[in-house]
Amino acid sequence: MTLKPLLKSLLYLLYLWLPLQALAVEPSTNERPRIPELSFADLSGELHNLREWEGKVLLINFWASWCAPCQAEIRHLIEYQQAFGPQGLQVVGLGLDSPRKLMNVRRSLGINYPILVVEEKESRSILRTWGNKSGLIPFTVIFDKSGHVVRAHKGIIDDQRFETLVKPLLRTPVE
């Protein structure tokens, strides 16, 4: 990555930092943050902007290959993507690890959604930007179909949480 795009990303993260701090509690209904204009490489090196999934219920899931709870959660996320993708769900994994390790997990678990790579040295600051000051993973940020943050969740998104946090968003039309 060259210096100019890196600097642009860091400035944008700084710009997002303040409003996203509210995610630690609940976002205000009037000024909810939107999907940021950030790009990350996938496991084949192709850049993807997070906004390319606007119009869908988007679950951005932060994880790493060494995180056992993350791997347990991934099994749920695979099922959700398969069952609810046609209804407008898009799971995107943001891997906080080396591409080689992330590829091994993708292959062994059969991950059926995009995996984007966050540089290891940037992972803590990106998690803090999204309201996760502790840096604990798994961590998921949920966006509605209009691209607004609905919830940031530390821990596993299991069936019960999916039922209450995500399924209602799938039934809501784009605002």
Mean pLDDT along residues 46-60: 96
Mean pLDDT along residues 34-57: 94
Token pair 């091994």: residue: 104
Residue 8 has pLDDT above 50, yes or no: no
Residue 37, domain member (yes or no): yes
Gap between the Cα atoms of 113 and 115, Å rounded: 7
Question: What is the band of 141 on the pLDDT scale with cuts at 50, 70, 90?
Answer: very high
Residue 14, domain member (yes or no): yes
Domain that holds residue 84: 3-21+32-170
Three-class SS state of 31? coil
Residue 175, domain member (yes or no): no
Q: Residue 169's pLDDT is what?
A: 96
Residue 26, domain member (yes or no): no
Considering just the CA atoms, what is the radius of gyration of the chain in Å? 15
Three-class SS state of 162? helix
Q: Residue 14's pLDDT is what?
A: 36
Q: Residue 26's pLDDT is what?
A: 44
Question: What is the band of 174 on the pLDDT scale with cuts at 50, 70, 90?
Answer: low
**Are the C-beta atoms of residues 64 and 97 closer than 8 Å to each other?**
yes
Q: What is the CATH number of the domain that holds 17?
A: 3.40.30.10
Domain count within the chain? 1
- List phi, psi (to 5°) of 148: -95, 145
Residue 85, domain member (yes or no): yes
